[in-house]
Amino acid sequence: MDIQTIRDRLAKLDTACLCDCGKKLRIMDPEIRPITRGVKMIGIAHTVHCKADFLTVIKALHDAKEGEVIVIDGEGDKIALAGEMFALESRKKKLGGIVINGGCRDVEGIRNINFPMFAKCITPQAGTSTKIFKTQVQVNCGGVPVTPGDIIFGDNDGVIVMSEDEVLEILDTAENIQRIEEKAVKKMGEDKNLTDVLNFFDHYAKISKKEESQLIFTV
């Protein structure tokens, strides 16, 4: 399956349903949050490691190709390593987003262009621009390893890192889970309760007897 098809299918899903069928997926620290809510981030990882200095981030922005996501390991420092101009450059180059294990700034500008940027914190203090670090190496972002070429998927709930093989393994199941959950939500919007769309009572009874059971939707 080509990467554009994978992107198109992921765009219709959310991180929650992926996590429901991929319990071993790499999930970034929940402190890494979207600057602009309601915007999904999907793309191939283009990695940067730097420490309180954004010069190498500019290099990565220059080198990155359409559809890539800049993944910045800033070692969690509360220093801004990207801002509005970085988002504008990324938008011009049709990048998939930026995720920072560190800080960003100029959030109003980032939100105004509706660009998918995720960061550990927001701060007005920028890093320096006098040191050169490495790009396209394995980094640690949000407590998980990220390798160039990994698929990055982020939404309001957080950021997931996956290899292409991991995506292909769970994609069909995730789509099925989402279809079922959409049916359940529709039923609850009409006249059903949560326990009406689940096997809750049967599951609860079995669990109380220490029997094997699994909570599932029944719609």
Q: What is the pLDDT of residue 31?
A: 97
Q: What is the mean pLDDT of the chain?
A: 96
118: pLDDT strictly greater than 90: yes
Instruction: Give residue for tokens 């949560």.
Output: 194
Domains within the chain, CATH numbers bracketed: 3-165 (3.50.30.40), 169-208 (no CATH)
> pLDDT of 41-82, one tens digit each?
999 999 999 999 999 999 999 999 999 999 999 999 999 999
Q: What is the mean pLDDT of residues 99-114?
A: 97
> Which pLDDT band holds residue 184 (cuts at 50, 70, 90)?
very high
Q: What is the pLDDT of residue 23?
A: 80
Q: What is the pLDDT of residue 81?
A: 98
DSSP per residue, 131-161 = ----BSS-EEETTEEE-TT-EEEEETTEEEE
Q: What is the pLDDT of residue 122?
A: 98
Residues 6+ apart with CB under 8 A from 83: 104, 105, 106, 109, 110, 126
1: pLDDT strictly greater than 90: no
Q: What is the pLDDT of residue 142?
A: 96
Distance CA 117, CA 36 (A): 7
Q: What is the pLDDT of residue 62?
A: 98
Inter-helix orientation angle 164-190/3-11, to 10°: 20
Q: What is the mean pLDDT of residues 113-132?
A: 97
The 10 Å CB-count burial string (b at 16+, else e) for 8-46 is ebbeebbbbbbbebbeebbbbeeebbbbbeebbbbbbbb
216: pLDDT strictly greater than 80: yes
What DSSP designation does 128 have? Answer: B
Which residue would you say has higher pLDDT here, 167 or 22? 167
Distance CA 32, CA 139 (A): 15
Q: What is the mean pLDDT of residues 140-167?
A: 97
Distance CA 130, CA 206 (A): 63
> Which pLDDT band holds residue 3 (cuts at 50, 70, 90)?
confident
22: pLDDT strictly greater than 80: no
Q: 5 — phi, psi (to 5°)?
A: -65, -40
Which residue would you say has higher pLDDT here, 49 or 21? 49
> Which pLDDT band holds residue 194 (cuts at 50, 70, 90)?
very high
User: Counting beta carbons within 10 angstroms of the beta carbon of residue 130, is it exposed (0 to 12), middle (13 to 18) or buried (19 or more)?
Assistant: exposed
24: pLDDT strictly greater than 90: no
What DSSP designation does 129 have? Answer: S
> Which pLDDT band holds residue 97 (cuts at 50, 70, 90)?
very high
Distance CA 44, CA 66 (A): 9
Can you give 45-100 as a three-state secondary structure string? EEEEECCCECHHHHHHHHHCCCCEEEEEECCCCCCECCCHHHHHHHHHCCCCEEEE
